[in-house]
Amino acid sequence: MVSKFTLKAAFISLMLLLVFLGAWQLATQPRESTAVIGGDAEYAALMGKGEQKTGFPTPAMVGKSFVTYLSDPFYDKGPNDKGIGIQIAYSLGRVALGFLLATLIALPVGFVIGMSPLLYRAFDPFIQVLKPISPLAWMPLALYSLKDSDISGIFVIFICSIWPMLLNTAFGVASVRRDWINVARTLEVNPLRKAFLVILPAAAPTILTGMRISMGIAWLVIVAAEMLVGGTGIGYFVWNEWNNLALPNVIFAVVMIGVVGMFLDLFFGWLQKLVTYRE
């Protein structure tokens, strides 16, 4: 019964995709009359393939981008011409580094302030002020003080992913069931064992939720950051293709950003499931 339900949903999804592609095709279809009468073939050629009026690529053109880039994702022909796989790998590398650094700080600090209501209150105003700052607002400061665009990108990822993790860790740790703490106390469990065997597993689902949110934000931010600092990465790729006026490539990259983001989220969802317990 479930599989039938899934099948139905998949069928509707497919229909939606086809309708979307159809509408897209209709909207961007080149009109022969205009192509002939217009006569400004030169301008049309400049816009791309020179066979359409609106300038917005047709599904077929985007499809061609997909084929070209996905058939050879890892080529490297100089700084401005790298395969999509390499660009995504650069972005993922930055996200991973920034995220890892944020985790290394957010988890212990969150743990400590979650355990101590006093520190929680003391840290709270700072967190409340720092949290809503757009990570990109840090960019100038980062570029100025770190003097390296690569490290600045990593820093921006770090600063945007630290807050949800910090807050969720603190909240998760602070709201561990009193009973479990009391069990640990009556068993005279030493602090380290208590932290790792009682509090951490008890708070893990909340912490993982924070990490999942952080990763979502980090992936949003990396594209923007790479557009700013340039050099490598999927964000830079989008920017570069826009400068080349190669819209089909831009659309291709946009879809790739979505797909990678989806897999990142799926991965954290899987981790979350792993640590979730049923009471």
Is residue 274 part of the contact set for other proteins (CB under 8 A)?
no
Cβ nearer to other proteins, comparing 33 with 190 = 190
Task: Choose, by CB under 8 A, the member of 202, 207, 227, 253 that binds other proteins.
Answer: 202
At 144 the three-state DSSP class reads helix
What does each C-alpha distance from 117 to 124, 166, 171 come to in angstroms? 10, 15, 11
Q: Which two tokens stand for residue 91?
A: 């972005």
Q: Hey, which residues between 169 and 188 contact other proteins (CB under 8 A)?
A: 177, 179-180, 182-183, 185-188
Tell me which stretch binds other proteins (CB under 8 A): 37-45, 97-105, 190-198, 249-257: 190-198
Q: Does 195 bind other proteins (CB under 8 A)?
A: no
* 277 touching other proteins, by CB under 8 A: yes
Query: Cβ 188 to other proteins, closest distance in Å?
Result: 5
The yes or no reply on residue 76 touching other proteins (CB under 8 A) is no
How many angstroms separate the first and last alpha carbons of the chain?
A: 28
Joined together, the tokens standing for residue 11 give 């069928």
Residue 36 CB contacts under 8 Å (≥ 6 apart), including other chains: none
Binding mask 132-171 for other proteins (x = CB under 8 A): ----------------------------------------
Q: Which residues, listed in sequence order, are joined to residue 100 by a DSSP beta bridge?
A: none
Distance CA 79, CA 83 (A): 11
Q: How far apart are CA 117 and CA 107, in angstroms?
A: 16
Binding site for other proteins (CB under 8 A): 177, 179-180, 182-183, 185-189, 193, 197-198, 201-202, 204, 275, 277-279
